[in-house]
Structure formats: structure tokens, C-alpha cells
Structure 1
């Protein structure tokens, strides 16, 4: 079993999907073999996220293994077409949480003032109906402003809302994968800076991390760029529309 996994694990998206499903179903042999054979992928992913070499002796690698295992157990091929993309995002979450906890423990960050919420509530003791009416007007104005701002952001990359309508992947699994790739680009400083500077995606680097062909990445380029710009913006109302897509 192990030899066949090592030989084929990175060659076939379907094979990886089948192995993840078998491991998730409770096949411990497949799970153990999958974890062993995926060590190169996990080390590469952890090193990329931590921005330094990670080996099996590092605590970050232990966190990565747990993240990979969690990805296997949570993976649903109907929700996430590419297991590698999904696993990368889950590992990213676990490592970021770990790094933040370590920083908090070592630096002993100050906690928020527990009385802040009480004072805030006392400050807004006004007529509820008037407040709601005011908020609705403000939100409507803010939404219109955000649409204009987003349109201007897209224009810097020669994109329009019409382009997004045409380039948006038609199939649900393809759209989810494209969105998850956009998430990876948005969350990695080097990828995002490359996009802003060159007005294009670092396709070669992305292709090395996810199991998606260059042709597919190029076809979904406009959609991915648009999502990246939205995720890294302060357009809170616009982001509400994609909350369900974020891992």
C-alpha cells in the first residue's frame, strides 16, 4: 500500500481524493501511509508559511501534521475540489494560531479592558428605532461607496464587473477551488506583493503549491485576482457576500 501511495500520490488528483476519503472513513493503514507519503508536501507547506526551513524536529511540523490530519477528516470533494489546496489552507490556519499563541505567551500581551464593553453600551442609550433607521441609511450609503471603490480597484487591473461575470467559473467545485487559491494568494505577503507590483498572478509559484493546471489558473485569472483584491480590502459589506466561501 505505502509504495503505491508514494509513487502516485502527487500524480493524480483523483487518487489523492480517494485516499483522503478512505482515510476519513476510518482506514488507519491508509491514513498512516498517507501521512508518511505526504511529508514532503507538509514540509514544503510549513516552510512556505513560516518563511524558514521546517524539518521533523520542529514543533511547527507537529502542528502541520495535525493540520493535515484535520484536513483529511474534514475534506469533502463536493465542497473543495482540490485536496492539496484545502489542506494548505487548513495547515495555514493551524500554524498561524500556533504562532500567535506562542507570541502571546512569550511577550505577555496585555488583555483588553473588560470594562470597555460596559462603557460602550452606556454610551449608546438612545432611541432604538432612530438608531436603526440611521444605521440602515448609513449602510446603504456605505454599500454604494464600496461598490464604487471596488470598481476603481478592479480598474487598476484592467478589470470590470462585466469581466467578472464572464470569467467566474461556472461549476461549483471549480469556483470553490479558484476562491481557495485566491485566499492563499491574499494571505501570503510575497504572492500579494507580486500581484500588486506586476498586476498579474505568480502562476509558477501558485502551480507548485496547488494541484491545478496552468491552463486552468490562466482561465480563472480574472476571477482569482478580483477575489484577492476583495479579501485584502476594507470593503466589509462587499465581503459579506463571500463569507460562506472563506475557510
Structure 2
């Protein structure tokens, strides 16, 4: 995620009566409010953790503690330039921390298992090792799928903040490869310019007039591909690794 394109929460951007406004007060140092928010959103935290783990989670489990820490981390890291509501952002942070924890636990379990197999007979060791390796590979794939789905859902919600749906995006996608590549380059130029990126994330509009100073294409071309350019720029800004293929160069 590009720090230069994201802006800290401001009082104007997040009114005090909203959750985002309360997070802003926490970032200013209101620790009592921090504790109040964490306590109030424990059911939300538990729900997210349980969904990732695909099983019931109670307060005594390590996964729940990691969810609490991740929610607290989300309050410190949340920025208005991310273009999403706080709970959407917190959900993503919690999921990533839980997935990282599960993968780490799986690697440790694999190491312990391999040490123990040295004490087993050779035939049983080979068969069990293959089963264990297959199970870990399958679990890693499931975690990646879960993370990919979550990123797509978050990205879809982010697009809605800009008045764009997947259906609208498919209709506005440039038909020719060279046109798509040009639009991707425009989006990359926009994201690399902190001022242009800030305008996009704060105003929810493409800064066409200012953008024309940095690109070689015409205003008409940018306006025609406006929604596609915004969609590509948001992939960069949001750091959606699962959507990386959509912004990589295509063969002309």
C-alpha cells in the first residue's frame, strides 16, 4: 500500500458521531475511547475470527487474542485515503493476521512432525509424510482462496464508493489491448503522484484537468475510460495483491 497516497483521518473527513470519527479521537490519544470501542466490537471481532477459522472461537483462544490485537492495530492504521469504512478495513486486517498465524502454526506443526517421524519405521514415515505434506498444501491453498475472496469483496465495496459496480466496469473496460494498456499507464501515473492520488481518494473523482499535465493522451480518451482508470488506480492504492493480474501488462 502506498503511504504517499493515503491521508490520516481528519475531523472534517470523519464526523465525531461516526465510528470513523471515534477512531480519529483514538488516534489523537483518547485511550479510554479505544478501550470502549474494543469492548463494544468484541462480537464483531469474534465473528470475523470464527469465519476465517471456520469454527467456533471463544475468548480463551489464541486466535481471538490475535483478533483483538489486529482490531487495535486497525484503529492505529486506518486512513481515510483507503476509501473504505473502518469496519471493512478492520475486517481485512484481522483476517490477514489470523491467516498469518494459522500458516505459522502449520509450519511449526510440520517441523515437529518431521522430527517425530525419525523415531517411526521407514515405511510408515514415508506414507505419513506424504499425507501431511498434502494436507498442508491443501490448507495453504484454502487460505489463499479465502484471502483472494476477501480482497475481491473489499475491492467491490470500494468501487461502490465511487459509483462503480463490476457490471458497469465490464461495460466500460476498453475493448482493445492497447487502449487498456494506455489506461493502465494513466492510472499508474495518477497513483505515483501523491497530489493526484489524494484528489481521487478524497473527492472520489478523477482529477482529469491536472492529470492531463502528466499524460500524452487526450481529455476525450481519459473521460471515455474514466471508470476503468479509477478501478485500476484503486487496485494500486488498496494493495489488492489478488487482483495483480488485472494491472500487469498484456501481450500486444
Which range, TM-score by smaller chain?
0.3 to 0.5
RCO higher in 1 or 2 (8 Å CA, sep ≥ 6)? 2
Q: TM-score, normalised by structure 1?
A: 0.47
